[in-house]
């Protein structure tokens, strides 16, 4: 006989106070608290000295982070957890602290100030539109801040398209942002040439990354609106990474059709997206991404696999497969397709549809 669990207001309180957890993590990243502990400062006094902070503030913040599961505590000493050691210490090559600059920036957070009003309208107020059709500073911030988070997916895409053995490959990177998806392909194959499309300020960041990663001589930029700039033609591969979710299905289909026209016969397209299950409530990260799109775009959404299939079919693609782009981003699906072939997850050739392969989840 199962015990009856009494109703509790704990979830309500935790939800209403979730902003405190965000603020605590942001403060710890700003103070380099996780890095300080990784360097050997494990007591309140030592951490406070390393972080140029008060002992009272440091103690309370460290205890809160312990409660939140980002630190552990043994007596008077603090230690990193496996997650914080990998992602929050600057000593780690997988450091993700820079993503705070975008994810909790004023431009993004203020979109949720009147969420009730957005729900009533079903769309954002004009001033909250993050995809307004002209260059916006928050996308430059995104390009600078989010590169570390995108690297595992970029590596996953390179594996899926088997870029190492692809030979000469002309790549169109639409809404390239930081540029790492195309740049990684160029790193993995010295016969890859990339054309990156985005706004000028964003492309400046992509060019910086291409230079740092040693492929500047094979990375060219094409500035402008992805919907109106002329792509040219003859591409072997088109990248559409984390872009479709900003728009409604009809707009996505238009962009997919334009991308297909830029591909040579037998070319392929890659789509990277957060893809919820058909119930639209699982998995949590992918399904919850719809709220981000409600708060910041006029008509964007997190699209299911069936919706993505319809878009690609309506755009003239005739077959596709799909697969997880990276183990860490289990809610992200990458797809490869070719002219007359659409995607959100694996690969096919023009007029040679391949068997669908279910996306893997760790």
The Cα 96–Cα 86 span in angstroms is 9
Q: What single string gives the DSSP state of each residue in 85-104?
A: HHHT-TTSTT--GGGHHHHT
Q: In the prediction, which pLDDT does 4 show?
A: 87
Specify the DSSP class assigned to residue 136. Answer: -
Query: What are the Cα distances from residue 329, in Å, to 92, 159, 167, 209, 351?
Result: 19, 15, 28, 22, 31
SS3 272: strand
The Cα 141–Cα 218 span in angstroms is 24
One digit per residue, pLDDT tens: the chain, 362 residues? 567 889 999 999 999 999 999 999 999 999 999 999 999 999 999 999 999 999 999 999 999 999 999 999 999 999 999 999 999 999 999 999 999 999 999 999 999 999 999 999 999 998 889 999 999 999 999 999 999 999 999 999 999 899 999 999 999 999 999 999 999 999 999 999 999 999 999 999 999 999 999 999 999 999 999 999 999 999 999 999 999 999 999 999 999 999 999 999 888 889 999 999 999 999 999 999 999 999 999 999 999 988 998 998 898 876 666 666 654 332 233 344 443 333 344 333 332 222 222 232 22
Query: What are the Cα distances from residue 121, in Å, to 118, 125, 251, 287?
Result: 5, 9, 20, 21
The Cα 173–Cα 186 span in angstroms is 12
Which class does domain 137-338 fall in? alpha beta
R_g of the chain computed on alpha carbons: 22
Query: What are the Cα distances from residue 249, in Å, to 151, 252, 254, 277, 338?
Result: 27, 5, 9, 17, 20
CA atoms within 13 A on the CB side of 15: 5
Q: What single string gives the DSSP state of each residue in 2-59?
A: PPPPPP-SHHHHHHHTHHHHHHHHHHHHHHTHHHHHHTT--SHHHHHHHTT--HHHHH
The Cα 291–Cα 303 span in angstroms is 12
Contact 333, 309 (CB under 8 A): no
Q: In the prediction, which pLDDT does 313 show?
A: 86
Query: What are the Cα distances from residue 73, in Å, to 54, 76, 164, 196?
Result: 19, 7, 45, 47
Q: In the prediction, which pLDDT does 266 show?
A: 80
In the chain, residues under CATH classification 1.10.10.10 are 10-90
Closest CA to 139 of 106, 165, 102, 188: 102
Which residues are CB-neighbours of 118 under 8 A, at least 6 positions away? Answer: 124, 125, 128, 294, 295
Residue-wise burial string across 216-252, b where 16 or more C-beta atoms lie within 10 A, e elsewhere? eebbebbebebeeeebeeebbbbbbbbbbbbbebebb
Q: In the prediction, which pLDDT does 267 show?
A: 84
| CATH code for the part of the protein at 10-90 | 1.10.10.10
Q: In the prediction, which pLDDT does 358 show?
A: 27
Structure tokens at 76: 């008077």
Q: What is the pTM of this model?
A: 0.88
Q: In the prediction, which pLDDT does 320 show?
A: 63
The Cα 303–Cα 116 span in angstroms is 22
In the chain, residues under CATH classification 3.40.50.150 are 137-338
**Number of residues in the chain:** 362
Q: In the prediction, which pLDDT does 265 show?
A: 84
């Amino acid at each position: 006989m199962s015990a009856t669990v009494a109703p509790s207001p704990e979830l309500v309180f935790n939800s209403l106070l979730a902003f405190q957890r965000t603020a605590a993590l942001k403060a710890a990243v700003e103070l380099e608290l996780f890095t300080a502990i990784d360097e050997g400062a494990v007591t309140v006094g030592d951490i406070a000295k390393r972080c140029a902070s008060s002992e009272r503030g440091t103690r309370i913040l460290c205890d809160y982070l312990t409660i939140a599961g980002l630190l552990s505590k043994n007596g008077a000493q603090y230690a990193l957890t496996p997650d914080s050691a990998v992602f929050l210490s600057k000593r780690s090559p997988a450091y993700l602290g820079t993503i705070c600059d975008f994810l909790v920036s004023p431009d993004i957070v203020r979109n949720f100030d009147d969420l009730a009003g957005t729900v009533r309208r079903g769309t954002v107020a004009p001033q909250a539109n993050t995809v307004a059709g002209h260059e916006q500073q928050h996308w430059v911030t995104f390009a600078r801040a989010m590169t570390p988070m995108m690297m595992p997916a970029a590596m996953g895409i390179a594996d899926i398209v088997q870029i190492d053995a692809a030979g000469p490959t002309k790549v169109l990177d639409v809404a390239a942002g930081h540029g790492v998806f195309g740049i990684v392909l160029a790193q993995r194959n010295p016969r890859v040439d990339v054309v990156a499309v985005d706004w000028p300020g964003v492309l400046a960041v992509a060019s910086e990354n291409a230079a740092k990663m040693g492929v500047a001589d094979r990375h060219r930029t094409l500035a402008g609106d992805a919907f109106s700039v002329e792509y040219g033609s003859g591409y072997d591969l088109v990248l559409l990474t984390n872009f479709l979710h900003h728009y409604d299905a009809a707009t996505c289909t238009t962009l997919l059709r334009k991308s297909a026209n830029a591909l040579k016969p037998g070319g392929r397209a890659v789509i990277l997206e957060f893809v919820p299950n058909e119930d639209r409530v699982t998995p949590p990260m992918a399904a919850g991404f719809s709220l981000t799109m409600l708060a910041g775009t006029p008509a964007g959404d997190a699209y299911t696999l069936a919706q993505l299939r319809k878009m690609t079919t309506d755009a003239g693609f005739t077959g596709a497969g799909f697969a997880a782009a990276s183990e860490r981003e289990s809610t992200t699906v990458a797809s490869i397709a070719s002219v007359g072939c659409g995607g959100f997850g694996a690969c096919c050739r023009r007029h040679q549809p391949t068997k669908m392969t279910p996306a893997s989840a760790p």
